[in-house]
Structure 1
Amino acid sequence: MLFRKKVMIVIVLFTVFACAQDKNPVNTKHSYEMVVKDLNIPWGFTFLPDNSMLITEKEGKIIHFKNGNKTEIKNVPKVYNRGQGGLLDIVLHPNYSENGWIYITYASSEGEDNGGHTALMRAKLKGNTLVEQQVLYKASPNTTKGQHFGSRIIFDDQGYVYFTIGERGNRDENPQDITRDGGKVYRLHDDGRIPIDNPFVNEPNARKAIFSYGHRNPQGMVIHPETRDIWTHEHGPKGGDEINIIKAGKNYGWPVISYGVNYSGTSFTELTKKEGMEQPLHYWDPSIAPSGMAFISSDKYKGWKGNLLVGSLKFQYLDNCYIKDGKVIKEERLLDGLGRVRSVNQGPDGYIYVGIENLGIVKLIK
């Protein structure tokens, strides 16, 4: 009996120390308004010019939400719905009102080999149907692994489209090899052409669309409203989720350098820094499992303008990050315990909208 008690005590202590808890304080001086109910995994969403919304459900559906009604869009590309893969991000072209292009990323089984890999497509909306579909990029080779598809999409001020693809669970080959897809940020012209000044266009056998490399699984990407730099965040392993500022041709280190360890607690690298590899602007330990990302650039939230919002899948809250001199100086929990935060956007009205798994999309009120 004594032996059993000792064993139980050891198990309890191990559990306490093995399961590190997030220490960010809860901010209770805010509320929310339900906007779109009954969504499963709202991976991405975007606002149309009439303020209606297009919402991706990971399982492979696009929902048009308008005037309180949900309509399922027809002719959505078939997705490889496995593990973390499925229908992912969705954004409008900056000149959508003139050209009508919608951009989506999704896990696709097209191409050789079994399984799937991340693709970027553009299409137009005619009534409730996707038309004129054009696959602009399809990563390869396919794999049946269910991990690390990425993927977020943004446009910069010059009209280039950027998108992220995770390293697909192959950390030892993909992220550090520019001849292979996965673990990268990519840049294309809006029609899929390779920009002639992409950093690796003259490298033999390189994937010419690569803009930066050495990433694990970036599921957040946004343009800073003032500096216009590209900010991303990515999942680390156990510890070591990162925020990075993306520069052309730079190596962000995964898995050579990291502030995390294996999920088992064992080490896979002794290095947190190395010459020629970029340091993160910020990292989380323990991991919060970040997804979705938005800056507050409006005046709707007193004292929060300029803050960065990051969704936490693991701890189920919206992380309100206060930024000063390019550093995160304070964090606090918003929407604490409401559910796994998957997607975050600032709407045309200046309010923050948040996609929460098994709930829907809510508007943040302060």
Structure 2
Amino acid sequence: MFGRFLVALIFLTGPVWAQNMGERPASRDLPFRLERVATLDLPWAIAPLPDGRLLVTTKPGEIWLFESEDGVSLENVPKVQFAGQNGLLDIAVSPDFARSGRVYFTYVSPQNALVLARARLDSSALGGVETLWQQTAGGRGQPGGIIAFGPDGMLYLSVGDRMQPDTAQVPDNPRGKILRLTPDGQPAPGNPFSGSAIRAAIWSEGHRNPYGLAFAPDGRLWSHEMGPRGGDELNLITPGQNYGWPEVSNGDNYTGWPIPDHDTRPEFTAPKLWWTPVIAPAGLAFYAGDDFPAWRGQMLIGALRGQGLVMVAGDGSDQLARWDLRMRVRDVAVDRAGHVWIIEDSDSGGLYRLVPK
């Protein structure tokens, strides 16, 4: 404790470091009500379609298509390794969906590898499923697996450290990295590194378990990741930057053994905000629409441990609100009509729409 106090004194005249948002209390004064639309077994991710329908994945291995309250479980979904933190993960709609009908999704395979796949969405099935990228098998949980399409048309993919922290600093290992790929799963041109195919695909490194990845209206990429015992992070992602895990963290190891704070190693890119106690962030979306005009341009983040929803300023400067929903919120999404959707991390988890009061 004295050592950390001394470090703080040393840096008083240095840069202004990110603030801890974890000590701010959550509110039960909600500016919305929750409308439960469906009940699912461990829902994991939401992907709104351009026509208003929703796709929802479940960790045990289903993809549901909702046109109304009655969803359809799609056929031809690949088998997954459903254990612990692993299973069927994220899903995203191709930018050219209106023409191609393609969706992208991630899962941990029965061989224990993180897989990025692509398929055509038919009325009640996936067609032409193909694997675009996969990591070497191994590791445990913390798979990452979040997909975001950039304004440049490229696909950005978060890869967790799979509970092997040192791999996040190994240049030719995709674990603990954010990748930038072509829509066909190849290293994208213009990436900051070169060399092996793995290295050429990396956009940023030094991440632990990024479960949020989204582009702001100004085109900048944001991510959040779960810290260890403390130190959940919100990061502005810049190509070629190293975010420090496991060399630095604003949290400690689960054993209680300390990890140097970000302000002790300025060569690593520090988070814009952090949370101790943790909120366990999951899901990230920027709001646009008319349901909640005051939210436009702001970030919405689900909270598992925090059991609610967090709103952060669009420039990452501050936490604007934190609502206690008394449920583990696994993902948050905004559809083209401006409706906000969340899912509950539970074996009887709800799909909810936020309705303004």
2:341 alignment counterpart? 353
CA-to-aligned-CA distance 1:247-282 (integer Å, 9 cap, x gap): 111111101111010123221336544243111111
Tell me by how many angstroms 1:108 deviates: 1.4
> 158, 174, 177: which one pairs with 1:184?
177
Corresponding position of 2:220 = 229
Distance in 1, matches of 2:122 and 2:198, equals 37
Displacement of 1:154 after TM fit?
0.7
**CA contact 1:273–1:279 (8 Å) conserved in 2:** no
Confirm or deny that 1:363 pairs with 2:357: no
Q: Which runs of 5+ in 2 are unaligned?
A: 1-21
Q: Alpha-carbon deviation of 1:35?
A: 4.3
CA distance in 1, matches of 2:330, 2:261: 31
- What is the match of residue 253 of structure 1? 244
- Please say if residues 41 and 58 of structure 2, whose CA atoms lie closer than 8 Å, have aligned partners that are also in contact: yes
Instruction: Pick from 197, 200, 211 the counterpart of residue 219 of structure 1.
Output: 211
Q: Residue type matched to 1:249 in 2? A: G
> Is 2:81 the counterpart of 1:87?
no
Which residues of 2 match residues 131-150 of structure 1 at below 5 A?
Answer: 131-143=127-139, 145=140, 147-150=141-144
Equivalent pair of 1:56/1:62 in contact (CA under 8 Å)? yes
TM-score, normalising length: structure 2: 0.88
Supply the AA of the counterpart residue of 1:166.
G
Number of paired residues?
A: 334
CA contact (8 A) 2:28 2:325 kept: no
> In the TM superposition, what are the counterparts of 1:109-128 in structure 2 within 5 Å?
109-110=110-111, 116-128=112-124
Residue in structure 2 matched with residue 332 of structure 1 by the alignment: 321
- Give SS of 2:200's match: coil
Query: 1:321 and 2:312 equivalent?
Result: yes
Q: Provide the residue aligned with 1:72 in structure 2.
A: 73
Q: Distance in 2 between matches of 1:273 and 1:109?
A: 41
The residue number in structure 2 matching 1:171 is 165
Q: Distance in 1 between matches of 2:196 and 2:119?
A: 32
SS in 2 for 1:303: helix
- What is the aligned-residue RMSD (CA, Å)? 2.0
Q: Distance in 1 between matches of 2:284 and 2:266?
A: 29
Q: Which moved more, 1:272-281 or 1:228-237?
A: 272-281
Note the C-alpha offset of 1:302: 3.9
Q: Match of 1:10?
A: none
* Structure 1 alignment gaps of length 5 or more: 1-20, 111-115
* Equivalent residue number for residue 161 of structure 1: 155
Q: Matches of 1:194 and 1:330 in 2, distance apart?
A: 35
Mapped partners of 1:218, 1:314: distance in 2 = 15
Give the equivalent residue in structure 1 for 2:11. none
Give the structure 1 partner of residue 191 of structure 2.
198
Normalising by structure 1, what TM-score? Answer: 0.86
Alpha-carbon offset, residue 130 of structure 1 = 1.0
One-letter code of the match for 2:132?
A: L
**Higher deviation after alignment, 70-79 or 292-301:** 292-301
Give every structure 1 segment of 4 or more consecutive aligned residues whose post-TM-superposition deviation is greater than 6 Å.
none
8 Å CA contact 2:115–2:131 kept in 1: the answer is yes
Change (3 A) 1:158 1:270: closer
**Residue in 2 that maps onto 1:57:** 58
Deviations 1:325-365 (A, max 9, x none): x343334222x233100000111210211111233121112
Partner residue in 1 for 2:7: none
Deviations 1:114-166 (A, max 9, x none): xx1211100012231111111111011323x2x21012111011210011110
The AA in structure 1 aligned to 2:205 is Y
